[in-house]
Structure 1
Amino acid sequence: MKSLCVIGSLNMDLVTSVKYFPKPGETIFGESFKTFPGGKGANQAVALGRLGAEVLMVGKVGNDIYGTKYLEVLRNNNVKQDGVLIEEGISSGVAIIQVSSEGENNIVVVSGANDKVDCNYIESKWSLIEEADIFLFQLEIPVNTVINTMKKLKERGKIIILDPAPAAKLPDEIFKYIDYITPNETEIETLVEKKIDNDEDLREAAQVLFDKGVEVVIAKLGSKGASIIKEDEYLNIPGFKVDTVDTTAAGDSFNAGFAFALAEGRSLEECVEFGNAVGAISTTALGAQEAMPTLEKVNEFISKRD
């Protein structure tokens, strides 16, 4: 099995459960408050660790209680933390999350130490980084760091997966380094600056990304599953029905499941199905990482549908 490396963010999620999201100027009473480890990068790393992958996390936390806690979380979830530094004089990243009674969420992120993951830091960890085969990126560390790191990895023939989240318009250069890009509907609309209303719109949006250099688009479509889009192929892989509690890390979990299956050498269709399963299971408990499954649980989950 190929080894994996996640280069990205580590946040502590401060989660409030509410009946509904307050309107501007409105004060409501929340139903509960909990603290969970999160951040798109670390979510993907922890999900991979739970599945049993060999995975290295690269990023930074602050010199505070959240940073210390996160190193413990990584260690307890089979994630190598040699690539994570405690940055002095700054807070760890935090995400303030509201989750409604319907399982929807909104999120405010304070980047903290994640903003200090610069190219010099990547260079200082390069001997560890280049040992991996498959790399997962997101957009919660500086984009310049992401682009320059991808470029170096591409020159060495590594496999690169980008989860373009949070949604952002990106420089054209980044796309020529990407093997697999995994946007949801909002993110692909942002990337191509076009509204997506149907499959034809999605194909046209994917073509824009192909023209810029992307190899494969994996479009995450929520309850509808995910679509594999290549220049000459469009295939939808159905999702799984579950009782949703919290969708906070569904996309991160999908990416971890997809990358794990890819590392095992499965077909692209099997990789996306596996990603759909991991993503679905992850929504069945409150908190980004609480319901992330083991390999045994995912295989059992998929077999029940078969």
Structure 2
Amino acid sequence: MSQEEANTSLGRKAALSENMLFGMGNPLLDISAVVDKDFLDKFGLKPNDQILAEDKHKALFEELVKRNKVEYHAGGSTQNSVKIAQEDTEETCPKLRISSLVKSDGGGEFYCWASLEKEPSWPLCPWMIQKPHKVATFFGCIGTDHFGEILKKKAEEAHVDAHYYEQNEEPTGTCAACITGDNRSLVANLAAANCYKKEKHLDLDGNWELVEKAKVYYIAGFFLTVSPESILKVAKHASDKNKIFCMNLSAPFISQFFKEPLMKVMPYVDILFGNETEAATFAKELGFETDDIAEIAKKTQNLPKENTKRQRVVVFTQGKDDAVATVGEKVTMFPVVDIDQNDIVDTNGAGDSFVGGFLSALVQERPLEECIRAGHYAANIIIKRVGCTFPEKPDFH
């Protein structure tokens, strides 16, 4: 194998076992229901909007659940991604209604209008890790309440081995999707998701044993606002043991306002995700003095790194334009297949899906190119459907 092949390949397809993939982040219970204009007006909502809950929205969640045909799903950016990576397609694919909504600054997720250039030589389905169940582990904080019980049930149904830190000071984080026709107004109440405590959960022997079992780790940048010390402990473990630690820039405000904790973690990051807006903000904050995304990717790859056995991989998506990735010493563009704009129904959750598809291939030690194609395929399925849902079976063979 040439040096370039060695850099682009992550090895042969690996056998799967429980707890191989570890995620930690802000768990939210996604609650969706059809409402009318009067409901929106009552809580001061717009038909298509993404906001953080204020005091005036506290009653919204309880009122929403009283309506007919309420749907619940385990959500939040990282939890969505590990669900997509894990979900067993032998029965039904996940219906991840809402992507994580942490800051309504327009940059909280990256979306990918994408598909496959060609069929890979292995059976690809991005919600694809089939049996064994519980390949994916997830840590986060919830409340000791009714919504928390529902969230635990939904994570279990998705076959994710979720171990939540449960506390009674704040209620379980929720994200409401108020649906009117083709529009949806998203209202997020982070609540307990902000309350994760390293010393009360991650440091416990039984929980840390689950961290040690993993081979691939993924944490969205959003979690830097909650427990950067937890991220750093996991990242250092991955580096020391030559495992793969993945992170997401998640939103421009992370680089702007949480630059210090972000850069403390960066030396341990093996794979970094982001979109073009997040990449540009990151470059500005670090003084790269370029707006060329390929150059930003290369400069990011070359930032100091603790584990020199693994060259950092940087993956930046650009909506309907080419994805950019560092492949060995090169920066490679990964074209997406054109999609009719009329086929794009809903882009919510496309960013989480891209990462989930990527991770599903990564945990099986597939080459980088196939990881990206898996991510593209997952995002492509998402944006053609309402509410970030998957068909029962993939149409990819």
TM range (shorter): 0.7 to 0.9
- Which residue of structure 2 aligns with residue 79 of structure 1? 160
- Which residue of structure 2 aligns with residue 191 of structure 1? 282
**What does 1:1-306 correspond to in 2, within 5 Å?**
1=14, 3-14=20-31, 35-37=71-73, 38-50=75-87, 51-52=128-129, 54-81=135-162, 83-96=163-176, 109-120=188-199, 121-124=201-204, 125-141=207-223, 142-144=226-228, 145-167=230-252, 168-169=254-255, 170-171=259-260, 172-193=263-284, 201-213=292-304, 215-230=312-327, 232-240=329-337, 241=339, 243-288=343-388, 290-291=389-390, 297=394, 300-301=395-396, 303=397
Q: Between the two structures, name the one with larger relative contact order (CA 8 Å, sep ≥ 6).
A: 2
Q: Could you tell me how far 1:257 is from its partner in structure 2? A: 0.9
Instruction: Give structure 1 stretches of 5+ with no counterpart.
Output: none
Q: Distance in 1 between matches of 2:148 and 2:242?
A: 33
Matched to 1:136, the amino acid is Y
Matched to 1:280, the amino acid is N
Q: 1:62 to 1:154 in 2, by over 3 A?
A: same
Q: Distance in 2 between matches of 1:96 and 1:27?
A: 12
Q: Distance in 2 between matches of 1:97 and 1:79?
A: 23
- Which residue of structure 1 aligns with residue 8 of structure 2? none
Superimposed CA distance per residue, residues 113-145 of structure 1 (whole angstroms, 9 cap, x where no aligned partner): 222223212112211111010011113332513
Q: 1:100 to 1:229 in 2, by over 3 A?
A: farther
Q: Any conservation in 2 of the 1:119–1:148 contact (CA below 8 Å)?
A: no
Question: What secondary structure sits across from 2:78 in the alignment?
Answer: helix
Q: 1:17 to 1:205 in 2, by over 3 A?
A: farther
Query: What number of residue pairs does the alignment pair up?
Result: 286
Q: 1:48 to 1:211 in 2, by over 3 A?
A: same
Q: Any conservation in 1 of the 2:31–2:175 contact (CA below 8 Å)?
A: yes
Q: Any conservation in 2 of the 1:210–1:231 contact (CA below 8 Å)?
A: no
Q: Distance in 1 between matches of 2:227 and 2:292?
A: 27
Matched to 2:165, the amino acid is L
Q: Could you tell me how far 1:231 is from its partner in structure 2? A: 6.5
Matched to 2:358, the amino acid is F
Matched to 2:208, the amino acid is W
Q: Could you tell me how far 1:193 is from its partner in structure 2? A: 2.1
Q: Distance in 2 between matches of 1:100 and 1:186?
A: 29
Structural RMSD (CA)? 3.3
Q: 1:162 to 1:98 in 2, by over 3 A?
A: farther
Give identity over the alignment, percent: 21
TM-score by length of 1: 0.80
Q: Distance in 2 between matches of 1:261 and 1:68?
A: 31
